Structure 1
Amino acid sequence: MRYGALVAALLLGACAKPKEEQMVSRGALEGAPAASASSGGSERPQPRGAATVRTDKGTYSAPAVRFSADFLGEPPVTLMSVALSAQSEDGGTWRFRMAVDEKFVKSKHATARIIPQAALGPGLAVVDSPQPDGSSMAMDEGTLELTVTGNQVAGEVRTKDGRVRATFEGPLTVECTVPPAWLSGANAPAAPSAPVPSSPDEGTVRVPDEALATPQCRSMADAFR
């Protein structure tokens, strides 16, 4: 597969279907439970917890907002996103996924245009709210803005005319996957072995860096202390 097509396919896959491997983080960087990684239209809601979403339809919660960094091989490419999937007491879900880039790690701030599709690039986000009866309400336009202070996230979703549709806040969890060689090579000589998930495309296999043993993953976690 050509390199450009590979990156496009990975972006689409990351936002359209759940990852089978489990990514473990420094839970909220201060002890919050880690969540399994899933994304986009098929993302399952997390259990209720410390992150809170307030909308005109009700209140939702989840253990944390998730920042995910997916490192590819050579040449180095990093796919990054921020996501939240929160649940209400009646079983409803409110969720978003925003694609970000390296600038976000330094600025701790991002604004994205909301689109109805799940194929995301930096500056784009998907927001929807699946209901217990199987229906789903998705925003097809508007903006999503968030800021990270320490390991806490605060943000809001606005319609195109500027009305606030939802606000959210809570702890941030960092998740990271890398090529298997990064864990077994010189970058992480003491890292524990990890199972290698199968992949139909040569060069796209990644494994969770559960111990944040690689410098790349460790630097991501350190950025959000």
Structure 2
Amino acid sequence: MRHGALVVALLLGACAKPREERAASREGLTAAELPQPRGAATVRMDQGTYSAPSVRFSADFLGDPPVPLMLVALSARSEDGGTWQFRMPVDEQFVKSKHATARIIPRTALGAGLAVVDYQRAGGPSVLMDEGTLELTVTGKQAKGEVRMKDGRVRATFEGPLTFECMVPPAWLSKANAQAAPAPVPASDEAGEVRVLDEALATPQCRSIADAFR
């Protein structure tokens, strides 16, 4: 399995220039990263307010033996059509501490400790933030955090409910005797690996992560 290619495909669908400039076309974003309808999660910047249903935390068990590729993401939009989003991979330490700090970079290849933040004002170009830090804290099922520039100034704050989604190999659901398991969905056209959504959290691997955020 081409794990590096999978990481790029699952985490990001857009490339960017080396400085904070126009981001690549949003046609490259995956469905999970496209701006979502208004909801309970709120992002506040000097330029305006953005909202989304929730801050999303996902775990995708890949490889042999499978290990979780975990990602926290938020895709929000403003009433006038502007967008704001971040993607931040996390590791198992985040499940224990409920806290993560990442360095913001303008690149597609990400790992734990790195994040991508981009925004777009209504009718304007999409912009990648090229330096700074993103801090995230989860209390119960509520997430909050802030984005700071390199000089320490707060660029944006966000808060809202945290939702969890977990993808596993199909055999795991069979062993867990899950009912009405969804049809397998290819994880990647390139790798061809198949996983399914453990919607009921029937597998111990998914349930253990979800239980940490109750």
TM-score for the superposition, normalised by structure 1:
0.83
Q: Any gaps of 5 or more consecutive residues in structure 1? A: 19-39
For 2:55, which of 36, 60, 65 is the aligned residue? 65
* Partner of residue 16 from structure 1, selected from 12, 16, 38: 12
Q: Could you give the per-residue CA deviations for residues 34-86 of structure 1, whole angstroms, max 9, x where no partner exists? A: xxxxxx84521111111111001100111110001001242231100100001
Identity %: 71
Q: Which residue of the other structure, out of 3, 15, 20, is the alignment partner of 1:7? A: 3
Matched, 1:206 2:202: no
* Matched-pair contact (CA < 8 Å) for 1:73–1:179: no
The separation in 2 between residues aligned to 1:71 and 1:113, in whole angstroms, is 25
Q: In 2, are the aligned partners of 1:73 and 1:203 still within 8 Å (CA)?
A: no
Q: Given the two structures, how large is their TM-score scaled by the length of structure 2?
A: 0.87
Name the counterpart of 1:37.
none
Q: Is the 1:60–1:87 Cα contact (8 Å) retained in structure 2?
A: yes
Q: Which AA in structure 1 matches 2:103?
A: R
For 1:4-153, what aligned pairs fall within 5 Å after superposition?
6-17=2-13, 41-42=29-30, 43-133=33-123, 135-153=125-143
Distance apart, 1:181 and its partner CA: 1.0
Q: Which residue of 2 aligns with 1:217?
A: 206
Deviation at 1:17, TM superposition (A): 3.4
Distance 1:177 1:117, change over 3 A: same
Give the C-alpha shift of residue 130 in structure 1.
2.6
Report how many aligned residue pairs link the two structures: 198
Instruction: Please report how far the alpha carbon of residue 201 of structure 1 lies from its aligned counterpart in structure 2 after TM superposition.
Output: 4.9
Runs of 4+ in 1 over 6 A off after TM superposition: none
Unaligned 5+ segments in structure 2 are 15-27
| 1:193 lines up with 2:181 in the alignment | yes
Contact 2:56–2:164 (CA under 8 A) maintained in structure 1? yes
Q: 1:132 to 1:192 in 2, by over 3 A?
A: same
Give, in whole Å, the separation in 1 of the partners of 2:138 and 2:122: 31
Q: Following TM superposition, by how much is the alpha carbon of 1:191 offset from its aligned partner in structure 2, in angstroms?
A: 3.2
8 Å Cα contact 1:53-1:166 kept in structure 2? yes
Q: CA RMSD in A?
A: 1.8
Structure with more of its chain in strand, by fraction: 2
Partner of 2:185, secondary structure, is coil
